[in-house]
A and B are shown apart, each in its own frame.
Chain A
Amino acid sequence: MFVSDDSSQYPCSMRTPTIFRFFWVFLISLAGCGPSQEVIPTPKPEMKAWQLHPEVLLDRRLQIQARATKDRMWLMGNNYLLSLDTGHRLVSDVLVAPLGNQLWNRSFLSNDYFATELEDQYAFSLRRNDNPDKQVLVNLRELDSTVFQLNSYYNPPMAINSRGQILVGGWVNAASSPGVTGIPLFVLQVAETDDSLKISLDRRTRVNEGLVNYAGHNYLNGIYAFGDTFYFSNTENRFYRLLHDQEPQLLFPFSLVHMFKKNDTLFAIGYQQDFTLGLGFLPPGAQQWQTRYFGELDNGFMRYESVENRIVIYRGSQLWEIVPNANYNYLTINELNNLGLDQTTIHDIEFFQGRVYICTSRGLYFQPIEDFFTFKPEP
């Protein structure tokens, strides 16, 4: 783990005679031993407990993903799509997935659309956030008979770009389609009229490079779209770009865990095969990605989000901020306040109208943004 080597921040480098230092310690010790009501508390950052949203209760509490738009925050729970208005009030509540949300926790494709996977996982419905009944079914097995299921693994399994195109991959099961390797990819064009959604196959492509893991599977682990360009990687450590009129181009060895844009610079966080944490960035106008690697980060299945242009990682009920220095040579990691999140698992983080919301297995919790970047004191 890389931390700042800036030692000038330590306040104890005083040039005082040893004897005064001794008295200083002695006085502090005495102060600590007085009657408890006279103890002067050491100043600590004020820890405010996360608050449970009072309208998201009972079987609506299991929250999986949030998506903030200008005037609405969409919330995907296990079975229900909820939304909050700018006053943080619950204003809609629709059952969308009777058998549970199955898109690996990432259903929202954009501010307008989400997808729900069907039970057998080879088909999905594209649906409008503000009108879930307006939907269209996409069956990947009809597009390609070698497809066994939708290719989704932990991160967003599909994305929609600025041309209204969806990139989605199929998972080919070695047992059902012997001899077929690689990952078939489909670019689907979404068209919408007043009363219906339509989807057509724009083109198909695939990535082929020996993409089979130890279990004979080849998984995508995340698809993102920025402008009309798609980015994706597979679990075998290959990170690709797909321009709208080209074939997939291998960028560099990387297993993607998150992408975001900050000040027009595109960032990709991911791992190399040996769990070395990496950061890729593409400054505006640049053609070539720059990469930095930070050694192995002992964080298992952490997830990464960006909140107000700051990188937040989370795992279980814990939150950390990762701060790269200006040259991205090292990272500082600070744990954030998680008071009140006992026995939860954080599924998503989203900033909306002055509040940071987190979707957890025990409910929708929030804090004002001013309180969010409060570091947890060292134990």
Chain B
Amino acid sequence: MKPVSLSIFLLAIMGFGCQSPDWKDAIPQAVSSESWALSSLGWTDPTVLQLDVGENELRVLGRNTLIRLDAHENAIEASIRSYHDIDLFSRPVFSHQFFLYKHSQRNNYFLMEPTDWTMEINSNRPVGVRLYSVNDPPPDDTSYAAFLNGTESGAVNAWGEFLVASIKKSTPGQVTLFLLDPYRWFPYDGRFTNARQWEVTLPAEAGTQMVRLTGLDDDFLVSTELATFLLRRDGSLAKLWDTRTTHAFVLENGWYAEAGGDLRHSTDKGASWQISGPGAGRLGAGEYFVVDTTLLFARKDSLYHVDVRSGALKPLSNHGLSGNQITAVAGFTDQVYVATLTGLFQKSRHALLR
């Protein structure tokens, strides 16, 4: 053997024996249980607008992408199962006042920004129900003057039915809500043929400024700036109170709504309401999220644990998360995911309340 070959041979052997520490790079790093860690899922647009837990998957809605994560058994990190370009040519836009709110809905509906609205629901008219702004109605629709834009333009109930807010030409000072049954949607032409079930027009004194549209089990809570209504699945409308409702959500022990600074609680599907304590909205604009039975309130880069009985707020650790604007929180597998405008973060559920 020539010396050169021998030296290469020796080098190779010794190199082999010396390289084992490098193998560590191939082993996924354990996520710290104490600090929020950026999920290393490999996409380069880190903005997440909404999280949505489906059957065995976590849907992560970005500005231009929907990513589905499935849970490997016993795996800490979820992996990318599918990757859809919602709109390949959509521009990198999110609207500043809306990012905190719901952009995705259950059953694969999307509510995107007015200019990037990707879901085309069709009413009886051959016109896509798009989120036109109030000042710019769809030019070829004869019955609707406008569809309300912004966050509170749609909601989904437990049946997967979709409530859409609009303004009709015949009642320009009032909000008209109509219910769409997505199961009548023919998926291949992208149209909701005959999907509209009924429509309800709010009284004129409620105004047209929508604050909240939320599905509560089978029904919907509808709030304008001036009044709050309960809209049942059958289309019957009942006024709850003459003030706006900033938040509404469902917990195990009933429905909750925050209005007038109070957290209000109903155990009878909205027929009667009791004040249970001060609302977390006293901190400022934020959003409630439910992880298992734990009620959280997220504001800017901070997370709070909310005691629904007293309204007491306990700040949770945001170590690793500070400086990131929270948009959504969801529990999936044994992890809690926090979506922000600048990345998806996660930590173990066991460490959440510590």
A345 at interface, CB cutoff 8 A: yes
* Range class of the A interface residue count: 35 or more
Q: Say whether, besides A29-B15, A78-B93, A100 and B325 are in contact (CB < 8 Å).
A: no
**Binary B-proximity of A325-351 (CB < 8 A = 1, otherwise 0):** 000000000000000001111000000
Task: Please indicate the chain B residues that have their CB under 8 angstroms from the CB of A12 in the complex.
Answer: none
**Binary A-proximity of B38-71 (CB < 8 A = 1, otherwise 0):** 1010111111000000000000000000000000
A100 touches B3 (CB 8 A): no
Q: Is the interface of A mostly helix, strand, loop or mixed?
A: loop
Interface-facing stretch out of B28-36, B94-102, B239-247: B94-102
Task: Please indicate the chain B residues that have their CB under 8 angstroms from the CB of A363 in the complex.
Answer: 323, 342
B353 at interface, CB cutoff 8 A: no
**Binary A-proximity of B308-336 (CB < 8 A = 1, otherwise 0):** 00000000000000011100000000000
Report A41 CB to chain B, min CB distance, Å: 13
Interface-facing stretch out of A20-28, A194-202, A230-238, A292-300: A20-28
B18 at interface, CB cutoff 8 A: yes
A98 touches B96 (CB 8 A): yes
A22 touches B325 (CB 8 A): no
Interface-facing stretch out of A101-109, A161-169, A249-257: A101-109
A120 touches B7 (CB 8 A): no
B6 at interface, CB cutoff 8 A: yes
Interface-facing stretch out of A2-10, A55-63, A183-191: A55-63
A21 touches B341 (CB 8 A): no
**Binary B-proximity of A17-39 (CB < 8 A = 1, otherwise 0):** 01101100110111011001000
B232 at interface, CB cutoff 8 A: no
A19 touches B3 (CB 8 A): yes
A344 vs B2: C-alpha distance when bound (angstroms): 50
A98 vs B98: C-alpha distance when bound (angstroms): 10
A25 touches B40 (CB 8 A): no
A316 at interface, CB cutoff 8 A: yes
Q: Say whether, besides A58-B325, A62-B342, A361-B45, A119 and B94 are in contact (CB < 8 Å).
A: no
A57 vs B300: C-alpha distance when bound (angstroms): 10
CB-nearest residue of chain B to A30: B14
A342 vs B42: C-alpha distance when bound (angstroms): 9
Seen from chain A, the residues whose Cβ lies within 8 Å of a Cβ on chain B are: 18-19, 21-22, 25-26, 28-30, 32-33, 36, 52, 57-59, 61-62, 64, 78-80, 95, 98-102, 104-105, 119-120, 316-317, 342-345, 361-363
Which 3 residue pairs are nearest across A and B when measured between Cβ atoms?
Answer: A100-B93, A79-B96, A25-B7
Seen from chain B, the residues whose Cβ lies within 8 Å of a Cβ on chain A are: 2-4, 6-8, 10-11, 14-15, 17-18, 21, 38, 40, 42-47, 91-97, 99, 113-115, 133, 136, 300-301, 323-325, 341-343
Given contacts A30-B14, A98-B95, 10 further A-B contacts (CB under 8 A): A21-B4, A25-B11, A29-B11, A36-B21, A78-B92, A100-B91, A119-B136, A343-B44, A361-B47, A362-B342
